[in-house]
Structure formats: C-alpha cells, structure tokens
C-alpha cells in the first residue's frame, strides 16, 4: 500500500488520472456509444488478464474507471500497472 | 412522460426494478466478472438496437442499470420497453 | 438483388472489399487480439442495430467479414450499407 | 505435443469436441445472435487470461472454436485447458 505522497508522485506519470483519497480514477469521452463500449471491452480484457477489476461506470459515450486494491485496502502497484495498460490502448 | 403513479404501476410488472424519482434502476449480481460482462454486452446490443442507452455501472460481478428518457426529461415507454428486454435475457 | 456488374460498381466505393460470387468480404488486421476483438464488438453492435448479421471469422489479430442477404439469396443494398458503416469505424 | 492417441483419450472428457488432425474444435448453437456474441465475449476473456487464442468463426447464432498450439505445432495441454474452461461457461 502506498502513501498519499507516493500516489501523487506516480499519478504525475499518468495523464488526467486523479486520486480522491480512495481510488485513482479517470473519465474517458468517446465519439459515440459504440466507441465507448469497445474501449470498455478492452478494459475488461485487461481486467481478466491481470485479475484486477476496476469499478467502472458509463453514460452513453463516457466511461469512468476507478481503481483500488481491495486486498490491500489502498492503492498499490497493481492499480498503476492497470492504469498504464489502459493508457496504452 | 409518465406520472409517478403510472411509473409505479408499470414497475409492478418488472421484478426488482425501482424508481428513485429520476431513473428506474436495477442491480444484477452474477457468478463472476466474465458472466457480468457478458450480460453487459447483451445490454449494449439492446441499447444500440433500440437507440436508447442506459446509465450503467459495475463492480466486479455486479452491474447496475439506470434508465431515463433524456429527451422527455422523465420516464417513458422507451424505458419500460428496454427494461422488459433486459428481463428477457 | 444486384447483378454482378452492379456489385462490382458498388465495390469500387469500398476500399479492399471483394466479391467472390457469393459474399462481399474483407479482412482486417489489427495490432493485437484486444484491438481485433474491440472491432468485432463494434461490428456486432452494427449488426444488431441494422438487424443484418455478417458471417465472420478470426485468427488472433485478424477479422474477416462476409456479407450476403440470405432472404434475397444474393447481394443487396443492405450489404453495402453494412460495409459502409464498418468502414466508418 | 500430444500423439493422436493421447488427443483422442483427452477428447473423451470433453462433450462434442472433435479432432480433425490439426485442431480440436467444437460448434456451439445459441438462441440468437446476442446470446452467441455474449458467449464469444466470455471466450475472448479466457483467451486473454490464458494468453491462448482460438481460431473462431460465427454465423448468426452459431460459434465455432478451433484450438491448436502454434508454438508446438500441435495439440497440447493448453488447448485442453482452454476447452475445459469453455465448457465451464
């Protein structure tokens, strides 16, 4: 589990990801629903591959991902690894 | 747009759907993430087919759908039609 | 149902689509499986929206779509409409 | 890599899977396209999780999976492990 200071330092490497004290999170906006859902599908593939599953929500062309390591009750490398993979999409 | 009374009457036909004053909504719990995401995929297919898109959110094996007709600024037949299709899955 | 001549004329508007005497078809190659599957998901959304379903096949990062109007026992506007939508993705 | 005899012995544990000399394969028929595509999505999640990707094809409500270990140029435990996971869906 990381300290708030470590989390902030790591967030600097990830464009537009933020920390709300519980999760690191980011919202993604796409051209339409189809594009947003295709993104979510790729996120689902990452989640199963890494066995690490984000909380997510969607409104039409917008998808929000929230990451946290439940077992550690905090933010860990797993969350940043996941976020980096998402940024590579 | 339906009155609250009409909405409540229509909800009686749909198991476990509820009205919160803005949306009709229901949460679905599955055996695992894969099953939950397969359900979500089928909901996405309905959404594109009907050109009516729910707000949705998920936490691992749980999916929540929230329906409302934005154009009408309320609940309409479209929402109940969508909910019925979801119940047929 | 279109004549072979009409089909060929219409194919000229669609990059890399071909006619094999039964279907119009095209293969798409992506960076990896995830990208290919996201494409296939968007094709599935189009298929449900238009109620017109291609034959499809995939090998890792490659997806092949084959279109034909079964009811008409040939190629129709529906197939070209579908192919155009796919090209817009 | 397994001998044909080993492959046949292992296939006996898997309902309706067959060996064609190159792949082990099975076709699955569903109630409609949506159900078939939801199944395919779950197969995609397995594929990314195991980093083992089947050849696949579909016609409306029918999905065919073909498995083979390319690196080994034959059938291996990976293919049977994959097929078992699919049967658990």
The model's pTM: 0.95
Residues 6+ apart with CB under 8 A from A30: A36, A39, A61, A62, A63
Judge whether B50 is closer than 8 Å to chain A, CB to CB: no
> How close D82 gets to chain B, by Cα (Å)?
15
Judge whether D44 is closer than 8 Å to chain A, CB to CB: yes
Top residue of D30, D31, D42 to mutate, by most chain B CBs within 10 Å, is: D42
Nearest-by-CA chain A residue for C46: A34
Res D7: pLDDT = 95
Residues of C in contact with A42 (CB under 8 A): 34-35, 37-38
> How close D54 gets to chain C, by Cα (Å)?
7
Top residue of A45, A47, A82 to mutate, by most chain D CBs within 10 Å, is: A45
Residue D28: how many other CB atoms lie within 10 Å: 18
Res B1: pLDDT = 76
Q: Where are the domains of chain A?
A: 4-88
Q: Could you read off the pLDDT of D11-51 as tens digits, one per residue?
A: 999 999 999 999 999 999 999 999 999 999 999 999 999 99
pLDDT at residue B50 greater than cutoff 90? yes
If you average pLDDT over residues B61-82, what whole number do you get? 96
Rounded Cα distance, B76 and B78, in Å: 5
Contact: C57, D55; criterion CB under 8 Å: yes
If you average pLDDT over residues D47-64, what whole number do you get? 97
Residues of C in contact with A38 (CB under 8 A): 38-39, 41-42
Residues 6+ apart with CB under 8 A from C77: none
CATH 3.50.50.60 at D4-72, yes or no: no
3-state SS class at C89: coil
pLDDT at residue C3 greater than cutoff 80? yes
**Class of the C4-88 domain?**
alpha beta
pLDDT at residue D1 greater than cutoff 80? no
> How close B30 gets to chain D, by Cα (Å)?
12
| Rounded percentage of chain B residues whose pLDDT exceeds 90 | 94
Residues of B in contact with C45 (CB under 8 A): 44-45, 48
> For the range D76-83, what are the long-range contacts, defined as Cβ-Cβ under 8 Å and sequence gap of 24 or more?
D76/D1, D76/D2, D78/D50, D78/D52, D79/D24, D79/D52, D80/D10, D80/D14, D80/D24, D81/D50, D81/D52, D82/D46, D82/D47, D82/D50, D82/D52, D82/D54, D83/D14, D83/D17, D83/D24, D83/D26
Residues of A in contact with D41 (CB under 8 A): 41
CA D47 to chain CA centroid, Å, is 10
**Rounded-to-5 percentages of helix, strand, coil across chain D:** 45, 25, 30
Rounded Cα distance, A62 and A27, in Å: 7
Q: If residue B19 lies in a helix (H) or strand (E), which one and from where to where?
A: strand B18-19
Tell me the torsion sign for CA atoms D29, D35, D39, D40: positive
For D37, the closest of B33, B41, B89 (CB atoms) is: B41
Judge whether D41 is closer than 8 Å to chain B, CB to CB: yes
Q: Could you read off the pLDDT of A78-88 as tens digits, one per residue?
A: 999 999 999 99
Nearest-by-CA chain C residue for B44: C45
Nearest-by-CA chain C residue for A89: C35
Rounded Cα distance, A83 and D22, in Å: 39
Task: List, as one string, the DSSP characters of C27-87.
Answer: EEE-SSHHHHHHHHHHHHHHHHHHT---EEEEETTEEEEEE-BTTTTB--HHHHHHHHHHH
Contact: D58, C59; criterion CB under 8 Å: no
Residues A9-22: b if buried by 16+ CB within 10 A, e if exposed: ebbeeeeebebeee
Q: Which of D49, B58, B34 is nearest to A51 (CA)?
A: D49
If you average pLDDT over residues B26-51, what whole number do you get? 98
Q: What is the dihedral of CA B59, B62, B67, B70, to 10 degrees?
A: 20
* Residue D34 burial (10 A CB sphere; 0-12, 13-18, 19+): buried
Q: Could you read off the pLDDT of A1-57 as tens digits, one per residue?
A: 789 999 999 999 999 999 999 999 999 999 999 999 999 999 999 999 999 999 999
């Amino acid at each position: 589990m990381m300290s708030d200071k470590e989390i902030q330092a790591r967030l600097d490497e990830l464009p537009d990801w933020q920390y709300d004290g519980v999760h690191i999170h980011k919202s993604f906006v796409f051209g339409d629903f189809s594009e947003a859902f295709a993104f979510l599908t790729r996120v689902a593939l990452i989640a199963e591959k890494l066995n690490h599953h984000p909380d997510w929500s969607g409104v039409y062309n917008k998808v929000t991902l929230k990451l946290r390591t439940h077992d550690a009750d905090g933010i860990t490398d797993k969350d940043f690894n996941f976020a980096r993979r998402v940024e590579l999409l």
